Structures are given as C-alpha cells and as structure tokens.
Chains A and B, each alone.
Chain A
C-alpha cells in the first residue's frame, strides 16, 4: 500500500493500494491545475479495480471537466474496472450533464444534498446503488430529521435531474474483493449499517462495567445482556456509533429489564447523539443517571472498574470478561483464548498537545504526552491496516511545526477514534491549529502582538492545560476539539489562496485490540515560503478609519471565539467616534449596521460610510463586537438629522469612479439604483 498526496494546490489526492485494488480519494477543486492524464497514467497497470472516492470534491470548472475526462480515459486503460464512490453532489451534477464524465465507470454511491431551513444547515446523505436502489429508482427522497435541530430537512435538488444518471445505470453489484475493500478501507460496513454491536462485561463484586461498541440496532441483545445484572451498573457507550429506532427501543427495554435488579445505572461516554435520543430521565429510568453529574465518588469507582477491565486477563478469577455478540448467528469472540494481556487504554493524548510558547520564535514543537508510537500504543493493539506501507517518514508521534525552505511544515496525529474520518478530521484540525500557532510566533508586528495575541493565547493555554490535566474529561476534550475545529475553519475562511485548502498529506492506521478497532490518523500541512509571507502580511495589514486601526481576524481567535467566522480586530484606537461609543483594542468587530465585516478593509469602509451617512441624514451607527467571554455585544451611537438644507456627503453625491473605494461597496458607482434610462 502506498500513499501519495499530489495534484494541485486546491486538490488533494490520497492513493491507497491493497492487492490489485487501488483507491484514489479526491478532495478539493478540480480545475485546469489538475493534470488529469498524468494522474491517470500514474495508476499501476493491470490494476483490478480502481475505486475513486469523490466525496471531498467541492468544485469542478469546465476545464477541470476536460482534465477529469482525460484522467479517467487514461486510468481506464490501466484498470479493469473503475468504481466511483461517495460522489459529491457537484460530481453528480457533472455525471448528469456530461455523458462521458464517468467514462464507463460505475457509480456505487453518492451523496444527496439535504437542507434544513429551520436551522439553516446543509447535510449530505449517502446513498448506495444497491442498498438504495428503490429510492434511486423513485427519484425522490422523503424529508428526514435534521441531525442538528431534529426538524424536517428536505432533499435540496430536483430528483428527476439529480438521479437521472444513476437511475439509468445498470444495477451495480460489487465484486466481493471490492466490497471487502470498501468495507475495510472506506468503512462501508458502517454505511451499510452492518457494524455489529459488541459488549464487554466486567463484574467486580456488586459492581458491573458494561462497555458497548458498534451500532445500536435491533440486534441489541437486551434480554441476554440484562441477565444476572445487580448492584451498581456502569454502562460505557462511548463506542456506540449509530442508533436506529429499533435499537433505541431495545435499549429502553434493556433499561426497563435491569431497573428492578440493580441499585444504580450510570451512563458513561454518551455522545451528543446518544444523549439526545436515549439519555433523558425517562429513558434511563428511576435508577439511571449520566455519570457526568454523579460526583467524584461515582467517577472514581467507574475509573477503577474501567481500568480493571482493560488491565485484566479474561482468565482472572474475580473478573469475568465476556464478549457477547449482538448477532446470534455470528458470535465473534472479542477476547479469544490466550489473548494478549490487556493494558490500560492508550490515552488519547494527541489532543493534549503541550501548549505552544507563543512568545518564542523558530521551531514550534509539540510533544505527545505518551512517547509510545501509535503502532505500539499500549491497549490499542496491533496495526492491522494502514493507508500506506511503510508508514511515511513524516508521520510520527511527535507533532511538530518546523521551518522548511523558508516555509512551514506542520504535522499532527489524532487521538484514537472508532472512526477513520473522525480521526482524519482531528489530525487535520490539529495540524491547522499548529500552523496558526506557528504563524503567531512569526508575526513580529508590535501592535498585533500587543492586541491580537493576548485575545486568544491565554484561552488556548488554559484549555490545553485543562485537557492535559484530565484527558478523559469530556468537557475539556470537547473544548479543545471545538476550538481546533474553529481555528481550522478560520484558516480556510480568512487565509485565502495562501492557506492550504486540505492537508498536504494524510496517513492513517487501524489498530485492533481488545477494545476493538481504533483509527489513528496523521496529517501534514505544508506552507511554502511565499505563502507564509503572504499570510503574515494578510493578518497584519491594518486599515484605519475614524481613529481605529484594525487587522483581519486571526485563526487563533477560534480558541477564544469558536463561533466567529470573520471580522476585524482593533489594534489601535485614537480619539474619535469609535472610541466614543466604547470600542477598545482587542475587540473583534463582526458587523457594522448589520453588514458583515470580513476584514480590515471592509471594516474601514463600512464604518466610514455608515458613520458619514448617519451624520448626514441622522441615524444610528451600530457595531456588533465580540469581546470578553459572553456573546457578541452591540455598541451604538445615534446621530440627529441635521436641520436646514440636506447635505449629501461627497462619497454618495460624487460619481463613485472618482472616489477611491478600497474595492468595496461601490454600488453608487453604478448610479445607486437609478433607472438605466431616464
């Protein structure tokens, strides 16, 4: 197996080979910079099946379509079969409109776009050609609950158009080898709902530890699991991936069965989805409680039991470790006889990277709390799958951000995760956060260091320290994960073309041990010297208006304000209207009179225009600002309309092409809404 990251700056391609099956995973934009024929010719001759994973394709230009067809044409000569999986809606559009876009390849799965108008969110639902054949044939998708708000979301496309290509395609039956590959490499077992539930049970005196992992579906053996339970029961559901209605009913039946038998049921490790669906007071019964709120004593008992479970042999007399298969037809033993000693869980320390010293310069180095490599991480088990062999040299347990040829190369590693995509996302977000931190080190601009850096550096340090103290604490873990996600998003939304749209390289490993399969992912982000310089300039370039100087919002602010997507940070404030209404250095201006501030330039333009208009005609200057630890605040000042003859400010009265505008809001250049012909 090999991993190659190539293509253009806007397109990443991951290359995975297993036997005579190869998979190319595309992420980003396919345009004229994609060298289609060259990539197609890089496919190994006599490849049995070439799987193209297109879930990450965001945009395709017209010239990109040509390059794509060239790519597939070349690839088709080297592979006996080409299969398209997880086609993004953008890819489906092209399949429908360009007859040879698939060039003879078969579409096995595609994402259908859904939209929720209630919470203004967009989602994708994966459809498989075999499993969802009837739905595809019907060319209609019913509304379904929005994952975010639970209101109804609708299929955001025209069914007759969207499904026109795949509905006409002969029903795709996957060769068994490809099906196995998809199941193991791309987690299609998960997509197909076939991840079987596993249960570990440890009994210690009157306390029982029950760990569930897999999909909670109708196969959940509620009666069998409930048998013999007594005393204090800890149910660890951190490994539950999907919950379907039948599984939820089985869970409730399980709780109902055990309630008369036990003294207390503690629910641990519940995801947000599990809490939403199955952790209400009614669902947990009169003796059930979420462990988070159970106090330190219960937490200590749980920790001890869990540690015992992971440290004990199956044959230990007092601790009975049983593996119970969810399916009566296929009981896979979780811990086979003679299994290796189970050591304490490998702590998910990659997210507990030591806080970066922002004041220093040079190499920004992270260290994992654990020195053990992922491949040998205690408790994780042996590596049984990986996206490349051998492991790329850059993928190590030491995450770092180091200078390379004047630029920066940042690498990161995820915590072990039950899902490959989650591990990969986390690794990428850590890498982007490392990039932001290293960038902060390199910014020497004094006003920036004095006003922008303090806004987030202390928060970052505090959140990382909290996580470092207790990596198992879900609140600390969530805070760090949320912040890193926000930082990564800000890198994308504010960094422009100089910020890599996707990691430059990825790699993952699957470890299978007594706790089941866990994925550890690695990501690398490379920023060339020129882009690094541009990024520093981008974030320090200030604009001054009404006495206030502002710079573009910096990605690191995601630690302090995870919900801020854009804005401008005040770095200097002289006496003037903005100081008078209460603005201060370090404040992040998000909007002016309801109009979003995207950067320093729009900030200067908006405050100038809006204040001039308010002075000329009367009105209010309103600034929406992120400051402190609460939500956004509004600062405002009202201006009385001038008496006597109206004075039209020059910026409005003059033909705008004579007025420097800074490139924004030049509507008045075109007549400000006046009719084209009078």
Chain B
C-alpha cells in the first residue's frame, strides 16, 4: 500500500514515514501541497490545516485520507463529513508526530481491505494490562457499573477527578447502549423514548462494558449488538455539542452525550457494523493532568465494519 504524507515539519514527516513503514505502508513525504502527486496513492496523510485539500482529494480520487491535528477537534469535524476521510489523530503540538501506536494501528487497519471486526482491546494498551468486564443487564445495573469503573480508576491511584470523569463517561456510554441502541425486529427504537424508565435487556441485547488500563492509558469500551450509530450521529452530534451554543435538542439530540465523551477522552474510536454491533472505545492518557487534557487535541476514528 502506498501513501503520501503532506507535512511541513521534516522531522515529523520523517517519523510518520518510519511509523507507516513499520505498518507495511510505503510512504513518501512532501512539504508543499503543490508537490502532491496522488497517482498510485491509496492513503493521504496531512494536518487538518490542509483538510480541505485532503477532502477534495478523497472526493475526487480513489485515496482515503487521514488527518492529524494539534488543535481542537471541532475545527476538523467538517472534514469528517466526507466519506473516506474517517480519522483525525491528535498530536501534542505542531512539532510532534501523532502517537505512534495510534498511527500504526490506523495504518494497519486501513491496509486491511474490509475489516470485519474491531481491533481487540489489547491493541489499545500495552501488553499485560488489566481489564474489568462488567455485566450490564439493564438500567438497574448502570449505577453499579459506573461505581465499579470509578473504583477501577481510583485503584490506579489516578486523581479523584479523573475517576469521576471516567464515571461520567461510563454513564453516558451505558445510557446510550441501554436506551438509545436497542431496536425491535422492525428496527424501531424500543427504549429511547423514556430515559427514566426501568429497562431490562434480553441477553442477546445486553452491552459489553469493559474498562482496562496498562497504567499509562485508560480505556473504556462499550459494545452493543445493534449497530445503529451512524456516522452523521457522531459528526453532527459532536459538532452541535462542541459548538458551545445553547442547548438545542430540536434536531434529534443536542450532542451533549458526545460532548461529555469528547471531554473525558483523548481518543475516541467508533466501530460500527450496521445492524450488528456498535463498539465505542474511549481512551485517556493517565500521564496528562486535567489542565493538559483541557488543551490537548483529541483523536476521532470512525470505522465502518463489513
């Protein structure tokens, strides 16, 4: 697989090319958009600063695009409206490459023709990590699960605010899996109309909730067996939630849940197999303090599974 890396910082470009090579992707770097030659290229990597150019290339050519950014995610969201441009990778600043493991995993998965399954949880964490899988049979299990997740984070000696933040994150994702995701045989939402109702899910409809950490990263993964989360839900929802405007749920949700997920995570992965499963994985870097988290760019990955 061939790729072009458009990056003005030569040190960053060199590192990205090296990381891509390790993932089996042959990449060349250019520092000027005028030098772009996309014949025979399948992947185009660039900063969100060049997002329009990448989006145009994705729309007009047979390439897929990957962006990285050191700025707030909301500035890059509009580019993700373009199918084929599905990934924004966070980087610390303009002199830094995106996180190595994340770039390599993205390249590896893009190289697979049509991935049928999401990356295993182990792909997000270092070898030897610990994980806690929590059964959630319905709304009655939600608060207990949130407490367990907070306890898990507290057990890592993470600051209390981080534990509470992850508890909030878990609350959002479980609420989504219990109330918003389930549909009946005709595809009609079964519980979304009343989020205060007690809900008991059939075994086949129960989500899988896992929290895990390798001591450096903290991961929360919630998987439901419905596969209803569409790309526009994520992109539009985040756009609404991060716009900072007044609460407006007139157009199907105000994006508040996604905003809370965004605020609690340094990277979000949405793996959706339509009508089969939705898997949301949120990562948090434990070495960041909350002040750094606030200004740190966020990653967003939208994976469509075959």
Contacts and interface: CB of A to CB of B under 8 A. Distances in A.
Interface in A482-521: 493, 496-497
A5 B303 CA distance: 47
A59 B290 contact: no
Interface stretch (B47-55, B78-86, B161-169): B161-169
Interface stretch (A93-101, A184-192, A221-229, A459-467): A93-101
A596 B133 CA distance: 17
B122 A663 contact: no
B147 A62 contact: no
A32 B164 contact: no
Interface stretch (A359-367, A473-481, A670-678): A670-678
Contacts of B151: 493, 566, 598
A449 interface: no
Given A665-B130, A673-B128, A158 B291 contact: yes
A115 B294 CA distance: 15
Contact of B161 (A89, A96, A496, A672): A89
Given A59-B168, A65-B256, A497 B147 contact: yes
Given A99-B245, A120-B157, A676 B123 contact: yes
A98 B248 CA distance: 10
B120 A671 contact: yes
A63 interface: yes
Given A99-B246, A100-B246, A673-B126, A62 B172 contact: yes
Interface in B138-190: 143-144, 147, 151-152, 154-155, 157, 159-161, 164, 167-168, 171-172, 175
Contacts of B131: 664-667, 669-670
A122 B171 contact: no
A670 B120 contact: yes
A623 B126 CA distance: 25
Contacts of A661: 133
Interface string B112-123: 100000011111
A10 interface: yes
Interface residues of A, number: 55
Given A89-B161, A673-B128, A156 B122 contact: no
A261 B291 CA distance: 53
B15 interface: no
A675 B123 contact: yes
A497 B171 contact: no
Contact of A100 (B155, B159, B247, B257): B247
B212 A667 contact: yes
Contact of A676 (B105, B257, B260): B105
A497 B140 CA distance: 10
Nearest to B261: A62
B109 interface: yes
A10 B260 CA distance: 19
A283 interface: no
B196 interface: yes
B132 interface: yes
A667 B247 contact: no
B71 to A, nearest CB: 14
B196 A32 contact: yes
B168 A61 contact: yes
B289 A115 contact: yes
A242 to B, nearest CB: 25
B247 A66 contact: yes
Contacts of B126: 673
Interface string B239-271: 001101111010000101101100100000000
B246 A155 contact: no
Contacts, number: 153
A48 interface: no
B289 A672 contact: no
Contacts of A60: 168
B207 to A, nearest CB: 14
Contacts of A156: 159, 161, 289-291
B108 interface: yes
Contact of A122 (B160, B172, B195): B160
Given A122-B159, A665-B132, A666-B133, A97 B244 contact: yes
A468 interface: no
A122 B128 contact: no
A137 interface: no
Contacts of B160: 122
Interface in B212-252: 212, 241-242, 244-247, 249
A489 B134 CA distance: 24
B129 interface: yes
Interface in A135-170: 154-158, 161-162
A155 B290 CA distance: 10
Interface string A643-678: 000000000000000000101111101111111110
A595 interface: yes
A65 B254 CA distance: 10
A671 B242 CA distance: 36
Given A60-B168, A161-B295, A676 B108 contact: yes
A673 B155 contact: no
Contact of B257 (A62, A98, A665, A675): A62
B76 interface: no
Contacts of B120: 670-671, 674, 676
B108 A677 contact: yes
Contacts of A10: 143
A240 B196 CA distance: 48
B161 A113 contact: yes
B163 to A, nearest CB: 11
A628 to B, nearest CB: 24
Nearest to B158: A120
A663 B127 CA distance: 19
Contacts of A101: 247
Contact of B119 (A58, A113, A676): A676
| Residue of B128, B164, B245, B260 most packed against chain A (CB within 10 A) | B260
23 contacts: A59-B167, A61-B168, A61-B171, A62-B175, A62-B257, A62-B260, A65-B256, A99-B246, A100-B247, A115-B289, A122-B161, A156-B289, A595-B130, A663-B134, A664-B131, A664-B132, A665-B132, A667-B131, A670-B120, A671-B122, A673-B127, A674-B127, A676-B122
Interface of B: 105, 108-109, 111-112, 119-123, 125-135, 143-144, 147, 151-152, 154-155, 157, 159-161, 164, 167-168, 171-172, 175, 195-196, 210, 212, 241-242, 244-247, 249, 254, 256-257, 259-260, 263, 289-291, 294-295
CB-CB nearest 4 A-B residue pairs = A673-B127, A62-B256, A158-B294, A676-B123
Given A113-B161, A669-B131, A676-B120, 14 more contacts: A66-B247, A97-B241, A98-B246, A113-B290, A122-B160, A156-B290, A157-B291, A158-B291, A493-B151, A598-B152, A672-B122, A676-B109, A677-B108, A677-B111
